[in-house]
Chains A and B, each alone.
Chain A
Amino acid sequence: DGGITQSPKYLFRKEGQNVTLSCEQNLNHDAMYWYRQDPGQGLRLIYYSQIVNDFQKGDIAEGYSVSREKKESFPLTVTSAQKNPTAFYLCASSDYRGTRNTEAFFGQGTRLTVV
């Protein structure tokens, strides 16, 4: 089945640690996105990428880093510089065609908790 796979589903991080969230898609989509979801705040864009080896900061990129070495993969690293990392993280992809009509497809999310 085509889709987006995020792993792990649950992740626990100790203070001062970096952790990496995985996102893989087999939809052959060009664009990929990372969102953070906090209760009552909707989704906020962290990073986005259109093509391999290219990515751009979103609205809340501080404390996060990404890479796009393969079209299918867009991992997100939550660094120790992110002061409040506990949240639900969602990866998405879309078939970039230069229009605003293209919807995004979402993975099932990773819940990150600082312990």
Chain B
Amino acid sequence: AQSVTQLDSHVSVSEGTPVLLRCNYSSSYSPSLFWYVQHPNKGLQLLLKYTSAATLVKGINGFEAEFKKSETSFHLTKPSAHMSDAAEYFCVVSTHLSGGYNKLIFGAGTRLAVHP
């Protein structure tokens, strides 16, 4: 069965310092992995996705993530945090439902705070 674990419920950084949000996954086959961002009382926006084409994936707003099969990890990073990055971030793994539907399995989320 597929699952995803976000290792930190809260992360706090200073503006201009690096961001690291950690995600481990469990999958019985080669996974499809996603990172989504959610600002307060808003919907979710896709940051990036891993589809086995390249292990280092670049997304929007300067974020990137590296797929490490040996560590079953898909950590999200950004070299320099901006105040506008403060939000909740979800690591997601995709799996098949009956009939070929895609089901997205969400981690519990990591709330990122950015301080001046």
The minimal Cβ–Cβ distance linking B69 to chain A, given in whole angstroms, is 16
Query: Are B108 and A111 in touch, CB under 8 angstroms?
Result: no
| Contact of B17 with A by CB under 8 A | no
CB contact under 8 A between A107 and B43, given known A40-B9, A42-B90, A56-B97? yes
Cα(A94)–Cα(B98), bound, Å: 16
Chain B 9-24, CB-CB to A under 8 Å as 1, else 0, gives 1000000000000000
Chain B 91-116, CB-CB to A under 8 Å as 1, else 0, gives 00011111111111011110000000
Query: Are A43 and B106 in touch, CB under 8 angstroms?
Result: yes
Tell me which residues from 6 to 60 in chain A have a Cβ below 8 Å from any Cβ of chain B: 6, 31, 33, 40-45, 48, 50, 56, 58
The minimal Cβ–Cβ distance linking A38 to chain B, given in whole angstroms, is 10
The minimal Cβ–Cβ distance linking A4 to chain B, given in whole angstroms, is 8
Residue in B44, B45, B49, B107 whose beta carbon sits within 8 Å of that of A101 in the complex: B49
Q: Which residues of A contact B109 (CB under 8 A)?
A: 40, 42
Cα(A92)–Cα(B34), bound, Å: 15
Q: Which residue of A lies closest to B4 (CB)?
A: A42
Chain A 81-115, CB-CB to B under 8 Å as 1, else 0, gives 00000001010101010111111111111010000
| Contact of B61 with A by CB under 8 A | no
Query: Are B106 and A103 in touch, CB under 8 angstroms?
Result: no
CB contact under 8 A between A31 and B90, given known A109-B42, A109-B43? no
The minimal Cβ–Cβ distance linking B65 to chain A, given in whole angstroms, is 14
Cα(A33)–Cα(B102), bound, Å: 10
Query: Are A103 and B108 in touch, CB under 8 angstroms?
Result: no
Q: Which residue of B lies closest to A102 (CB)?
A: B102
Using a CB–CB distance below 8 Å, which chain A residues touch chain B? Answer: 4, 6, 31, 33, 40-45, 48, 50, 56, 58, 88, 90, 92, 94, 96, 98-109, 111
Using a CB–CB distance below 8 Å, which chain B residues touch chain A? Answer: 9, 31-32, 34, 36, 41-46, 49, 51, 90, 94-104, 106-109
